[in-house]
C-alpha cells in the first residue's frame, strides 16, 4: 500500500514556482527545487515527475494565480475600460514592487524555454492568446457601450494591448521606473478614448 504524502503538495508547488521564477528553468537544479520545496529529491520525482514536468505544473500554477485570477477579478466585475486600466495599474504596481526584478514567469518562459521546446512554445502561445482575448473582449464590450473608440478593430487593439503588456514586463526587469512604465500605457490608453 502506498504511503500518504507527508507534505503539502500545493505549498510545495508554490515553492517551486518561486524557485523557477527567481532563477529560471536552466539555472534551477533539482536540488534547488527539493530544498526550496522542503522535500527530498525522491519525493519530488514521485509527486511531480522530472524537472520539466514540475516546471510545466509550476508555470500553470503561476498563470492560474496571476493572469487568470486578475481576469476573474476585473473582467466580470468592472466596466470594460476600467478593467483594462485596472489590469495595467496592477501590472505596473507589481513590476515596481518586484525588488528582485523577477519579471513575469510567463514572459521569462517565452524567452528562455519556449524557443527550444515545442511543447512550451504551445503552452506560452496559448496563454498569450488568452491574454489577447481578454483585451479583445474588453475592447469589444467598450465599443458596444460607447466607452471605447471604434476607430480601431477590437482584434487590433487586443494585439496592441498585449504588446504593451509584454513591453512593460520586459522593461521592468531592467528599468523599473514608474514614469517609464506609465508612459508606455498612456498613449495606448488614449487610443481607447471615444
Tell me the pTM: 0.91
Q: Residues 154-169: what's their mean pLDDT?
A: 98
pLDDT at 2 over 50: no
pLDDT at 4 over 50: no
Residues 6+ apart with CB under 8 A from 86: 74, 78
Task: Quote the pLDDT of residue 190.
Answer: 96
Share of the chain above pLDDT 90, in %: 89
Q: Residue 112, class by beta-carbon neighbours within 10 Å (0-12 exposed, 13-18 middle, 19+ buried)? A: middle
Q: Residues 44-55: what's their mean pLDDT?
A: 92
Task: Quote the pLDDT of residue 187.
Answer: 97
Q: Residues 161-183: what's their mean pLDDT?
A: 96
Compute the chain's Rg from CA coordinates. 19
pLDDT at 54 over 80: yes
- Angle between helix axes 9-23 and 30-37 (nearest 10 degrees) is 130
Residue-wise pLDDT for 70-123, tens only, equals 999 999 899 999 999 999 999 999 999 999 999 999 999 999 999 999 999 999
Q: Report the mean per-residue pLDDT for the chain.
A: 94
Band the pLDDT of 1: cuts 50, 70, 90.
Answer: very low
Nearest to 80 by CA among 157, 9, 5: 157
Task: Quote the pLDDT of residue 5.
Answer: 54
Amino acid at each position: 500500500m502506498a504511503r500518504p504524502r507527508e507534505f503539502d503538495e500545493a505549498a510545495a508547488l508554490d515553492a517551486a514556482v518561486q524557485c523557477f521564477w527567481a532563477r529560471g528553468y536552466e539555472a534551477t537544479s533539482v536540488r534547488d527545487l527539493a530544498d526550496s520545496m522542503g522535500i527530498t529529491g525522491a519525493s519530488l520525482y514521485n509527486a511531480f515527475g522530472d524537472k520539466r514536468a514540475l516546471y510545466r505544473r509550476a508555470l500553470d500554477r503561476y498563470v492560474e494565480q496571476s493572469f487568470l485570477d486578475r481576469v476573474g477579478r476585473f473582467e466580470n466585475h468592472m466596466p470594460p475600460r476600467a478593467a483594462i486600466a485596472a489590469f495595467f495599474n496592477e501590472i505596473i504596481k507589481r513590476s515596481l514592487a518586484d525588488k528582485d526584478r523577477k519579471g513575469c514567469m510567463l514572459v521569462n518562459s517565452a524567452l528562455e524555454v519556449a524557443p527550444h521546446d515545442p511543447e512550451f512554445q504551445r503552452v506560452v502561445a496559448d496563454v498569450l492568446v488568452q491574454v489577447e482575448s481578454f483585451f479583445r473582449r474588453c475592447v469589444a464590450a467598450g465599443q458596444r457601450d460607447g466607452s471605447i473608440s471604434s476607430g480601431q478593430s477590437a482584434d487590433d487593439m487586443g494585439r496592441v494591448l498585449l504588446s504593451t503588456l509584454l513591453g512593460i514586463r520586459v522593461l521592468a526587469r531592467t528599468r523599473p521606473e514608474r514614469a517609464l512604465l506609465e508612459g508606455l500605457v498612456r498613449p495606448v490608453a488614449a487610443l481607447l478614448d471615444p
